[in-house]
Amino acid sequence: MAKKSPIPLTLFFPIKFPGGNVVKRFAKPCVRCGEWVELKHMEGIVKLRADRALLSANATCASCGTRFPVDCMITPDKQVIKLHIPHAFLMWYLLRTSHIPATSAASTPDAAPAPSLRPVAAREVEMAIDVVGNYQGQSIPAAVSYKGIWYDFERVAMKQEAALAADELWLDSGLIFRRRA
C-alpha cells in the first residue's frame, strides 16, 4: 500500500454535526513547552459520525518544534475526550475508513450515482478478495465495485438511517460502502 501524504487538519474544519452544532477551532497544548498548537500545525484525519468526530493527528509545536500525537473524540457539545488507543492504529483505521475532502474542484472525482434508500443487491457488485470482518455470518469485503466505481467498506447500516451520503452505496446485506477518493 502506498504511503499517503499528510493531510492538513484545516481541510476537515469546521466540523458540522447533523444536529446543527459546529466546531470551528481546535488546539492542543504542546507536551513539552505548553504553548498552544493550532490546526494549521496539525496533519491527520477526522471521521465524522452523527454523535461524535474521531480525530487523529500529528501536531508540531511552532515554538519548540516538538512533534506529538493527538488522538481524541469531539462531541457535538464541543467536549474533547482523549482516546487511549495506540496512535498508529487509530491513524491507520481513520485513513482507511474516512472520506478525505478534496482540496479543490479540480481534484473532485466524477459524480457518483445518486444515493438511494433502496439497497443494491449483493449479486450486482464485484467484491474484493480482502475481508475486513464478518456480519451476520457473512464475510465483509474490504471493497466492492458497482457500475465500474470502487467503494470501500464504511459501516454496517443502522435501522434508524434515513439517508445516505452522495458517495455511499448500501448493499442489501446491510453493509454501507463509501466511494474511493
* HEC profile of 136-170: CCEEEECEEEECCEEEEEEEECCCCCCCCCCCEEE
Tell me the pTM.
0.55
Residues facing residue 46 across a β-bridge: 55
What pLDDT shows up at residue 80?
93
Q: Facing residues of 43 across strands?
A: 8, 58
Residue closest to 71 by CA, chosen among 80, 83, 59: 83
The helix/strand/coil state of 2 is coil
Report pLDDT for 4: 55
Facing residues of 59 across strands? 42, 68
Angstrom distance (rounded) from CA 5 to CA 42: 13
User: Tens digit of pLDDT per residue, the chain (181 long)?
Assistant: 444 567 899 888 888 888 888 898 999 999 999 999 999 999 999 998 878 999 999 999 999 999 999 999 999 989 999 999 999 999 888 888 877 765 533 333 444 444 445 788 888 899 888 888 888 888 889 999 998 899 999 888 776 566 677 888 888 888 888 898 7
Return the domain boundaries, the chain.
9-102, 122-179
CA distances (Å), 143 to each of 1, 52, 165, in order? 15, 25, 17
Q: Which amino acid is at 26?
A: F
